Amino acid sequence: MARELVERDIKLLIRLAPECEDLVCSGSGRSFHSVLPPVANHFSRDAADFRDRITRMPDDDLSYLTGLVLSGGESLGCIDPEMVDIFVREVASRIGEETAKTVVRVYAAGDDCEV
């Protein structure tokens, strides 16, 4: 589900990827509609870099993004499974196992890729 990034999303995206100069996908030329896909697919050098970015995220931002994933507002569809696993492990560690399992179910059910 495409959404417009709100101010909190934009601040979070820039916090996770300070090198983000604008909110446009370099590949498609379209505006970003989620936070995690651009961080995973455009700004992280590899899985270790993505893990570093996610683990530095404050708890309230992790809870916020997790809530968006669960409500369908944040897309995981075009993120590499290894990156999703990193996100899920962080959710399990900091928010809870049950929430992480629900995130996995949302991912497994599939969603459209909304960069």
DSSP 15-82: HH-TT--SSB-TTT-PBP--SHHHIIIII-SSHHHHHHHHHTS-HHHHHHHHHHHHHT-S--TTS-HH
pTM across the whole model: 0.88
Q: Say what the pLDDT of residue 24 is.
A: 56
List, run by run, the mean pLDDT of 10-residue segments along the chain (115 residues): 82 91 60 87 95 97 97 89 97 98 91 54
Q: For position 28, what pLDDT does the model report?
A: 53
In the prediction, which pLDDT does 32 show? 72
Residue 31, φ and ψ in degrees, nearest 5: -65, 145
CB count within 10 Å of CB 48 equals 10
Cα 82 to Cα 27: distance, rounded to the nearest angstrom = 21
Q: What is the pLDDT of residue 1?
A: 46
